[in-house]
Amino acid sequence: MISQIDRNRTGARIKYIMDNKGVTVKDVAEYFNFASVQSVYHWIEGKSLPTLDNIYALSEMLSVPVDELLVGDRLVKYNFSKNEYISRISSYYEYLIKNIA
């Protein structure tokens, strides 16, 4: 199965970050030089996703990494086996992820 981006959760995440930064839909539309705010509302409502270029620019505008904007269904696995302390924390993290769901 191929990992996918969840449009609804990504839209909610974008809105959450915008609210925390004090950025309005109109601010985003003006930043992208959109004729109207409709595209931004479509992102927030999960009707569509920003293009890759727009995701990249939005992350710049909001001063957050691209990964912080996107919400997907993949489980992130980190390999910290070289450092024993971090390896134990990583194992505990994986245990929590498996048992919380």
Asked if residue 38 belongs to a domain, the reply is: yes
Secondary-structure percent of the chain, ordered helix, strand, coil, rounded to 5? 60, 0, 40
Return the CA Rg of the chain: 17
pLDDT digits (tens, 9 = 90+) for 58-72: 999 999 999 889 987
- Position 94 scores a pLDDT of 75
| Residue ranges making up the domain that contains 100 | 74-101
32/54 Cα distance (integer angstroms): 8
Q: Do 23 and 41 reside in the same domain of the chain?
A: yes
Asked if residue 41 belongs to a domain, the reply is: yes
Q: Which parts of the chain sit beneath pLDDT 70?
A: 1, 74-83, 85-86, 101
Task: Give helix then strand counts, H and E, for the chain.
Answer: 6, 0
Q: How far is CA 23 from CA 12, 28, 80, 91, in A?
A: 14, 7, 37, 38
Q: Do 49 and 80 reside in the same domain of the chain?
A: no
Asked if residue 1 belongs to a domain, the reply is: no
- Position 79 scores a pLDDT of 54
Q: Do 78 and 65 reside in the same domain of the chain?
A: no
Q: Do 12 and 59 reside in the same domain of the chain?
A: yes
CATH of the domain at 50: 1.10.260.40
Q: Do 55 and 85 reside in the same domain of the chain?
A: no
Q: How far is CA 43 from CA 29, 61, 93, in A?
A: 11, 15, 31
Q: Do 59 and 87 reside in the same domain of the chain?
A: no
